[in-house]
A and B are shown apart, each in its own frame.
Chain A
Amino acid sequence: MNSVILIAGARLQAVLLLVFSAYMLLRGHNAPGGGFIGGLIAATGFVVYAIACGTADARKALRFDPGSIAGAGLGIALFAGLMAALWGDALFTGQWLFIGETEDDKGIPLSTVLIFDIGVYLVVLGAILSIAFSLEEAV
């Protein structure tokens, strides 16, 4: 599609969607959001980009094959679940680390749950994009 307005708009929108998806991913544990929704939003960004600039450009912008992203995400999620074994807990038990914790402030909470969510994010992003790209290329 050769519309200058669409291409210019889509680029801006793709960037905004990607940033928003990262925000959604990170706030996910205690507020609405999370890996699945974040992944969907990020995928929307790339789909918009692909509609405007073509799938070849979108694939280039993604840098990695969407299938491999999904595979890596599955690996990260699995790894996050298995990490609990390092602390001797049952698998998939959340482990938390609070950086700069004080009496009444939790500081920056980091957790294996977040790593798991990042994995989910990548799985959703990769899976949706591999479906969407192959459909757009088939039409």
Chain B
Amino acid sequence: MEQLLSVLIGILVASAVYLMLARNLLRFLFGLILLSNAANLTIFVGGRLTPGAPPLVPDGMDAPIGDVANALPQALVLTAIVIGFGLFAFALILAFRAYQSLGTLNTDEMRVAEPKEN
């Protein structure tokens, strides 16, 4: 299963890089979203896939009994997803505003802050 997920991560990264090489800002952002999903999966696989019972502590005990799933990577991934969600919401709005005020999504034409030397 780990191998399968690793291949999936590879595919995600490859498509992300392909998208990010585009000049269109929106495509770049889509690539970035794929890349961040790849990163989340990496953390998930990094914690090893542990099929088992949910990691719940029974009443009156300090530790769960038997083999349970590793809860930490899931907590990390959840945090990363939430943060990523906020960042990309912001980035998409920024792209939208950039299109409104600069009139283009082509990154080559975004030269307002760094004008071309004549």
A contact residues vs B (CB 8 Å cutoff)? 36, 127-128, 131, 134-135, 138
Task: Report B-chain residues with C-beta under 8 Å of the C-beta of A128.
Answer: 89
Against A, the Cβ 8 Å flags (1 = close, 0 = not) of B64-84 are 000000000000000000100
Q: How far is the CB of B75 from chain A (nearest CB, A)?
A: 12
- Evaluate contact between B82 and A36: CB separation under 8 angstroms: yes
In Å, the complex CA distance between A58 and B93 comes to 20
* A-B CB contacts (within 8 Å), total count: 12
- Is A138 in contact with B82, judged by CB distance below 8 angstroms? no
Question: How many residues on B have C-beta within 8 angstroms of the other chain's C-beta atoms?
Answer: 8
B residues near A36, Cβ cutoff 8 Å: 82
Q: A135 and B86: CB pair below 8 A?
A: no
B90 contacts which chain A residues (CB < 8 A)? 131
Q: Least Cβ distance of B81 to chain A in Å?
A: 10
Task: Give Cα A138–Cα B97 distance, bound, in whole angstroms.
Answer: 9
- Provide the bound-state CA to CA distance between A135 and B93, in Å: 7
* Top 7 A-B pairs, shortest CB-CB distance: A131-B89, A135-B93, A36-B82, A131-B93, A135-B96, A127-B86, A138-B100
**CA–CA, A138 to B98, complex, Å?**
13
| Residue of A with least CB distance to B56 | A30
Docked complex Cα distance between A128 and B82 (Å) = 12
Give the dominant DSSP class at A's interface.
helix
Bound-state CA distance A36–B86 (Å) is 12
Chain A residues whose C-beta falls within 8 Å of the C-beta of B82 in the assembled complex: 36
7 sample A-B contacts, Cβ–Cβ < 8 Å, listed by A number: A36-B82, A127-B86, A131-B90, A134-B93, A135-B93, A135-B96, A138-B97
CA distance A135 to B97 in the complex (A): 10
- Which partner residue on chain A sits nearest B78 by CB separation? A36
A136–B96 CA distance with the chains assembled, in angstroms: 12
Expressed in whole angstroms, the Cα–Cα distance for A138 and B93 within the complex equals 10
Q: Report the Cα distance A67→B89, complex, angstroms.
A: 16
A residues less than 8 Å from B100 (CB atoms): 138
User: Within the complex, what minimum Cβ distance (angstroms) separates A125 from chain B?
Assistant: 14
How far apart sit A131 and B100, CA to CA, in the bound complex (Å)? 16
Assembly CA distance A134 to B93 (angstroms): 9
Residues on the B chain within 8 Å of A131, using CB: 89-90, 93
CB distance from B79 to the nearest CB of A (A): 10
- In the bound assembly, the distance between CA atoms of A127 and B96 in angstroms comes to 18
Given A127-B86, A135-B93, A138-B100, 9 new contacts (CB under 8 A): A36-B82, A128-B89, A131-B89, A131-B90, A131-B93, A134-B93, A135-B96, A138-B96, A138-B97
